[in-house]
Amino acid sequence: MTILSARGAVEPFYAMDVLRDANALADVGHDILSLAVGQPSHSAPKGVLEAAEKALREAKLGYTDGLGRMETRRAIAAHYAERYGVEVPVGRIAVTTGSSAGFSLAFLAVTDPGGRVAITAPGYPAYRNIIKALSLEAVEIETDIAEDHMLSVDALQAAHREKRIDTLLIASPANPTGAVTDRHHLAALMDFCRDENIAFISDEIYHGLRYTGDDRTALSHTDDAIVINSFSKYYCMTGWRIGWMVLPEDLVRPVERLAQSLYISAPDLSQLAAPAAFGCTDELEAIKDGYRANRALLMERLPAMGISFAAPPDGAFYAWCDVSAHTNDSMDFAKRMLEEIHVAAAPGLDFDPVNGPRFMRFSYAGSTETIARALDRMDGWLTS
């Protein structure tokens, strides 16, 4: 009999379970409309595809340095200068196997076994599961729609005073809420972490996907933050598995050592192609216009079905919605919606183990046609 580790006993990622079930139905011929997964329906930008094609013909693909190809790191540094007006030394940039690898590397680099990592609820479920798998403790701090789901310093301080917090992870824009932490809240949180010797991790993978203002990187305030980003979301490159970290100087070598042993290096083809994405702004902004149209469609039609927005969808491509007018069991709601009308969406339990049964997350990363057809099916289902 196999002895199972407690570290492996993480909760399922229910959105992925829904996707699995949706794919099984699609495989036998059903017309599935998915609002479940945060994956752009568009391919990578044309410039990236052309760069990849050239690399396949001409490059000798292999392992790279643990921190990534120097030309890729230089391109990322140039992006910070152009996009944010922030000078980031190339030596502080690490290219990673998607942002997921970045989270693992960050947690391992700054938190000892048993350490406590503060995250917000509702929040991305993989944070909680990665933290547990690394023998750390997730401290989930509930946020409130009255404060636009921004974590306050007071809430962080209260949790820290109850029992020491070692690391804080903030995502802005956030999954599943789409909420944005404004620059004043972000700066106050970073200052508190500096004063209390708490490591600060800024998840910025939804930068570029904000509808109410401009993005602000944590690096505009401090060099002490660990910033994690990715080509997956705004740049439509989920399957390429490439992201990056910007690290404080004293963490570069520890992260490099960890990356060398855990991942060796990010995929070489992706490293060669990804920098071209920074030159594809016109194409990517046109895709973003599609998300903006999808967002407007959801904001118009969901409330008419008795589904209210539980967070301002200011960024990313998610609507975090209260479905308690129809159910107090969003898992069952998601299963029935998939089985009965073949529309897939993510149950709230994924993102908030306490209050999640009242909520659903609807992704609007797909085509406007898909969103409109899904809403038509939902309207008929809920009002019949």
What does the block give as tokens for 277?
């994405």
DSSP string, 199-262: EEEEE-TTTT-BSSS----GGGT-SSSEEEEESSSTT--GGG--EEEE--GGGHHHHHHHHHHH
Which phi-psi region, left, alpha or beta, contains residue 247 (left: φ > 0; alpha: ψ -120 to 50)? beta
Per-residue confidence at 10, pLDDT binned at 50, 70, 90? confident
The angle formed by the CA atoms of residues 100, 105 and 108, to the nearest 5 degrees, is 130
All structural domains of the chain: 6-44+281-383 (3.40.640.10), 46-279 (3.40.640.10)
DSSP string, 96-108: ESHHHHHHHHHHH
Per-residue confidence at 228, pLDDT binned at 50, 70, 90? very high
What does the block give as tokens for 247?
């690290």
Q: With a cut of 80, say whether residue 321 has pLDDT above it.
A: yes
Q: With a cut of 90, say whether residue 71 has pLDDT above it.
A: yes
Cis peptide bond prior to 353, omega within 30° of 0: no
Cβ burial, residue 381 (10 Å; 0-12/13-18/19+): middle
Over residues 334-342, the mean pLDDT reads 95
pTM > 0.75: yes or no: yes
What contacts 378, CB < 8 A, 6 or more positions away?
305, 337, 341, 343
Q: Which amino acid is at 32?
A: I
Q: What is the pLDDT of residues 127-152, one digit of tens each?
A: 999 999 999 999 999 998 888 899 99
